[in-house]
Amino acid sequence: MIFVTGGAGFIGSNFILNWIKSNAEEVVNLDKLTYAGNLENLASVQANSKHIFIEGDIGDLELVTKLLDKYQPRAVINFAAESHVDRSIHTPEAFVKTNMLGTFWLLEAVKNYWNRLDEIAKNNFRLLHVSTDEVYGTLDKQAPAFNEENRYEPNSPYSASKAASDHLVRSYHHTYGLPVLTTNCSNNYGPFQFPEKLIPLMIVNALEGKSLPIYGDGQQIRDWLYVEDHCVAICKVLESGSVGETYNIGGWNEKPNLDIVHEVCSILDESKPRSDQKSYREQITYVKDRPGHDRRYAIDARKIERELNWKPAETFETGIRKTVQWYLENWQWIANVQSGVYRDWVEKNYVGRT
Ligand code: NAD
Ligand code: DAU
């Protein structure tokens, strides 16, 4: 079986749903259920014996050690993190705790477990650490996209804490021989993304008649990747990646934020027109910029394409339509997230199960 951390969050839950659909192996899912962890994302596999959920912290050495010994996974995939840049500006401590210290304790537990395995299991074992392109800092307009050789120059408490976790992972390979893999991915979008991030926030605010807040001039560029493509890439790296290597993952989809918001508005204008027939673009407002806002991210994803034969399947045009449609069809999910009802749901369904 495999052991996933942070599997109740946006990317982790998409990963688990895809995994269960296409693999026979069981998944143990350790998640602390912070505000971003939502077991409703996994409701469709709630009764599936291939998904074993455990509520807990990656920083809890005793718990993680016990779980690894009990389930004997062949791989650990670390999604668990505090992930929102704006929150890291307001409350950086949580980012240091989970992304840095949490990753450190997870590494300790995994190293000790790996050392107890027999030779064959030891050789086959992998720890895959899921990271971000933000560790590389910001790019000028004309600069080439980030490749795996770029220097780390993180600019926010979030990216600094992720950079620190990447360094720790790297050091556990070089010092202790732990068979690690690291992926650095660009901005994801798709189903189950918490509506604090740009795309779901814009969809939800638009439909609720609220303003669509654009930070600064809206010309910051991100490289967007549909979440399922990220999940497929992670599987490829897990199965065929070279130990100790890092792989950049991106969508070849650089777009300014304002274009993204315009695209969301156009799709909504078509699928769910406003009652006054005006465009949702009317709701766009420009607000004070994010402090230290990185101007541009772009991923050079040629290494993973060349070595592991991975390329994104979705274009932005197809992915964004699917995404908007998903939010339109899952209004109850949004309402539950907003009201906190999903926490009651967790209480109802999971307390006493594990
Ligand atoms: P998310 O915030 O939606 O989910 C994070 C999950 O981790 C939640 O379920 C939360 O409960 C859990 N968690 C937090 N602290 C924990 C702890 N101490 N112990 C156990 N679980 C804990 O994040 P996401 O967007 O799904 O991102 C997942 C990973 O991918 C993160 O490591 C993030 O840095 C990375 N990443 C995200 C993106 C993106 O665009 N969202 C892009 C590249 C990389
Ligand atoms: O690049 C990968 C990273 O992408 C991940 O590591 C992070 O976990 C993930 O949150 C994301 O970080 P960003 O800061 O790029 O994503 P966010 O959705 O918060 O913002 C995207 C862009 O949109 C960014 O330039 C800020 C801008 N923005 C965001 C919000 C929430 C706005 O203009 N208005 C907003 O209200």
pLDDT band at 340 (very low <50, low <70, confident <90, very high): confident
Q: Which atom of ligand 2 is nearest to the CA of 162?
A: 6
Count up the domains in the chain and report the number: 1
- From the CA of 84, how far away is ligand 1's center (Å)? 9
Whether 282 is in a domain gets the answer no
Ligand 1 atom with the shortest distance to the CA of 187:
40
Note whether residue 334 is domain-resident: no
**125 near 114, Cβ under 8 Å?**
yes
pLDDT score for 92: 97
- Percentage of the chain surpassing pLDDT 70? 97
Q: Are 107 and 172 in contact (CB under 8 A)?
A: yes
Q: Is the Cβ atom of 132 under 6 angstroms away from ligand 1? A: yes
**Res. 353: pLDDT tops 70:** no
Cα 191 to Cα 227: distance, rounded to the nearest angstrom:
8
229 as an active site residue: the answer is no
Rounded to the nearest 10 degrees, the angle between the axes of helix 157-176 and helix 103-116 is 20
pLDDT band at 85 (very low <50, low <70, confident <90, very high): very high
**In this predicted structure, what is the pLDDT of residue 341?**
74
69 is catalytic: no
With a 6 Å cutoff on the Cβ, whether 187 touches ligand 2 is: yes
**Closest approach atom of ligand 2 to CA 83:** 8
Is 350 a residue whose pLDDT tops 90?
Answer: no
pLDDT at 348 over 90: no
Is residue 260 situated within a structural domain?
no
Which one of the listed residues 113, 136, 158, 327 is annotated catalytic?
Answer: 158
CATH number, domain of 131, equals 3.40.50.720
pLDDT tens per residue across span 263-272 = 999 999 999 9
Ligand that lies nearest to the alpha carbon of residue 259, given by its number in the listed order: 2
CA-nearest residue, atom 29 of ligand 1 = 79
Ligand 1 and 12: CB distance under 6 A: yes
Q: Is residue 27 part of a domain?
A: yes
pLDDT digits (tens, 9 = 90+) for 183-194: 999 999 999 999
In tens, the pLDDT along 14-54 reads 999 999 999 999 999 999 999 999 999 999 999 999 999 99
Determine the residue of 198, 259, 320 to mutate for testing ligand 2's pocket, defined as the one with the most ligand atoms within 8 A of the Cβ atom: 198
Residue 10, ligand 1, Cβ within 6 A: yes
186 lines ligand 2 (CB under 6 A): yes
Domain residues for 110? 2-189+226-252+295-313
Average pLDDT over residues 51-76: 98
Q: Which ligand is nearest to the CA of 8?
A: 1
Name which of 137-141, 331-335, 337-341 the model is least confident about: 337-341
Q: In this structure, is residue 271 part of a structural domain?
A: no
pLDDT of 251 above 80 = yes
Residue 138 Cβ inside 6 Å of ligand 2? The answer reads no
- At residue 352 the predicted structure's pLDDT band, cuts being 50, 70 and 90, is low
Is the CB of 279 inside a 6 Å radius of any atom of ligand 1? no
Sign of CA dihedral 46, 47, 52, 56: positive
133 annotated active-site: yes
347 is a domain residue: no
Could you tell me if residue 139 is inside a domain? yes
Q: Which of 125, 57, 76, 108 is nearest to 234 (CA)?
A: 76
Q: What is the pLDDT of residues 278-330, one digit of tens each?
A: 999 999 999 999 999 999 999 999 999 999 999 999 999 999 999 999 999 99
Spatial separation of the C-alpha atoms in residues 157 and 353, rounded to whole Å:
36
- pTM score, whole prediction: 0.97
Higher pLDDT: 225 or 354? It is 225
Which candidate, 257, 230, 28, places its Cα nearest to that of 132?
A: 230
- CA–centroid distance, 31 to ligand 1, in Å, is 10
Do the beta carbons of residue 27 and residue 16 sit within 8 Å?
Answer: yes
Q: Quick check: is 201 in a domain?
A: no
- From atom 19 of ligand 2, which residue's Cα is the shortest distance away? 197
| Closest approach atom of ligand 1 to CA 14 | 26
**Ligand 2 in contact with 224 (CB < 6 A)?**
no
User: Which tens digit of pLDDT belongs to each residue from 143-157?
Assistant: 999 999 999 999 999
